[in-house]
């Protein structure tokens, strides 16, 4: 069997299992198993795969796992986000391109480097680390309730930035009263509990429920963030929240009730509501 034959075997297995991007996924898995890039694959595709090479079995097992709908990103151990490669595993939500809308918004609207930035519910650390690398802010911190997720975030920080400080905390439970920030970001759990079971198997069966479940109406963490963030924002500080496509008005109303000003809903590249922003007033109590 040649490398090309092996690739086609994997592609056919994934296609038969209903994987929508079978060709792409099979290619990623093969390149990962044999530690080669696409250029080297093209050069070697007609060569025979060594029969004693254990990497063939590794590839076969990866294909079988993908047939079972284990996310590709968990199998190859990484996901691109904001031009950076983040390590991911089953303890963290896989970074989505939709979330880049939030990061790009923060970078555009906060060009001063002398900023204190906090990313709440940080997961893999993709938001905070991207802001540290691309925004070069004076201080960037991240917090998450999951110790396992923080281990992933800390490793990503070691590889990509080295300047982000993380702590384990249930929202602001582990923060001192005097700790305040100029920018707070969050991509909290926001999927209504009953909706999760209807999601794709890759999501509902493998991504951490802790990072998905936003309670019965999906708004529990937004209520808590709207209540707790003012106590940790400097006057004039900004809050950026990723939301589900149908949650914009509800989250904007929560911020209005709490006293945030200059509130707005920002759409992503697909035209869906994606981020709710607000500012804590200079004279806010």
How many residues are recorded in the chain? 285
Measured between its terminal Cα atoms, the distance across the chain in Å is: 71
Q: Is residue 190 part of a domain?
A: yes
pLDDT given for residue 253 in this prediction = 98
Q: What is the CATH number of the domain that holds 211?
A: 3.40.50.150
68, 94, 124: which is the final residue of a domain? 68
Residue with tokens 């990103």, as numbered in its chain: 73
pLDDT given for residue 220 in this prediction = 97
Tokens of 114: 């002398």
Longest dimension (CA), the chain: 72
Q: Are 281 and 235 within 8 A, CB to CB?
A: yes
pLDDT band at 283 (very low <50, low <70, confident <90, very high): confident
The SS3 of residue 186 is: strand
Q: What mean pLDDT value characterizes the chain?
A: 96
Residues 59 and 156 in one domain: no
**What whole-number distance in Å separates Cα of residue 243 and Cα of residue 267?**
10
Residues 56 and 108 in one domain: no
Residues 113 and 242 in one domain: yes
Q: Is residue 284 part of a domain?
A: no
Helices 126-135 and 100-109: angle between axes, nearest 10 degrees: 30
pLDDT given for residue 166 in this prediction = 98
Instruction: For residue 246, count other CB atoms closer than 10 A to its CB.
Output: 10
Q: What is the pLDDT of residues 169-197, one digit of tens each?
A: 999 999 999 999 999 999 999 999 999 99
Burial degree of 282 (CB within 10 A; 0-12, 13-18, 19+): exposed
**What whole-number distance in Å separates Cα of residue 28 and Cα of residue 14?**
12
**What whole-number distance in Å separates Cα of residue 55 and Cα of residue 35?**
9
Residues 150 and 225 in one domain: yes
Q: Are 218 and 247 within 8 A, CB to CB?
A: yes
Residues 57 and 150 in one domain: no
Indicate the helix (H) or strand (E) that contains 116: strand 116-120
Distances (CA, A) of 183 to 112, 142, 161, 163, 275: 11, 12, 19, 17, 14
Q: What is the pLDDT of residues 88-144, one digit of tens each?
A: 999 999 999 999 999 999 999 999 999 999 999 999 999 999 999 999 999 999 999
Q: Is residue 73 part of a domain?
A: no
Residues 19 and 125 in one domain: no
The DSSP bridge partners found for residue 116 are: 139
Tokens of 81: 């986000």
Tokens of 36: 């080669």
How many domains are there within the chain? 2
**What whole-number distance in Å separates Cα of residue 198 and Cα of residue 24?**
25
Domain range for 108 is 78-279
44, 68, 92: which is the final residue of a domain? 68
- Taking the model in full, what pTM does it have? 0.94
pLDDT given for residue 284 in this prediction = 52
Give the mean pLDDT of 243-253: 97
Give the mean pLDDT of 26-30: 97
């Amino acid at each position: 069997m040649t490398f090309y034959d092996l690739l086609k075997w994997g592609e056919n297995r994934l296609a038969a299992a209903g994987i929508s991007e079978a060709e792409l996924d099979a290619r990623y898995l093969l390149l990962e198993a044999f530690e080669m890039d696409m250029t080297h694959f093209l050069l070697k595709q007609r060569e025979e795969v060594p029969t004693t090479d254990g990497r063939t079995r590794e590839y076969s097992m990866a294909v079988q796992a993908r047939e079972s709908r284990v996310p590709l990103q968990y199998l190859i151990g990484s996901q691109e986000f904001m031009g950076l490669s983040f390590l991911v595993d089953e303890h963290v939500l896989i970074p989505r391109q939709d979330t880049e809308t939030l990061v790009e918004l923060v970078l555009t609207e906060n060009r001063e480097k002398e900023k204190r930035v906090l990313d709440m519910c940080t997961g893999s650390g993709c938001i905070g680390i991207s802001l540290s690398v691309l925004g070069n802010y004076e201080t960037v911190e991240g917090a998450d309730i999951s110790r396992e997720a923080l281990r992933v975030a800390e490793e990503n920080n070691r590889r990509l930035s080295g300047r982000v400080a993380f702590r384990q905390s249930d929202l602001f439970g582990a923060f001192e009263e005097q700790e305040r920030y100029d920018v707070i970001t969050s991509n909290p759990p926001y999927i209504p509990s009953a909706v999760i079971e209807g999601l794709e198997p890759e999501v509902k069966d493998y991504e951490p429920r802790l990072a998905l479940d936003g309670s019965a109406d999906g708004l529990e963490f937004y209520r808590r963030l709207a209540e707790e963030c003012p106590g940790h924002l400097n006057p004039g500080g900004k809050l950026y929240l990723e939301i589900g496509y149908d949650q914009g008005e509800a989250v904007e109303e929560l911020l209005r009730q709490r006293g945030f000003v200059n509130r707005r809903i920002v759409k992503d590249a697909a035209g869906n509501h994606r981020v709710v922003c607000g500012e804590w007033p200079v004279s806010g109590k």
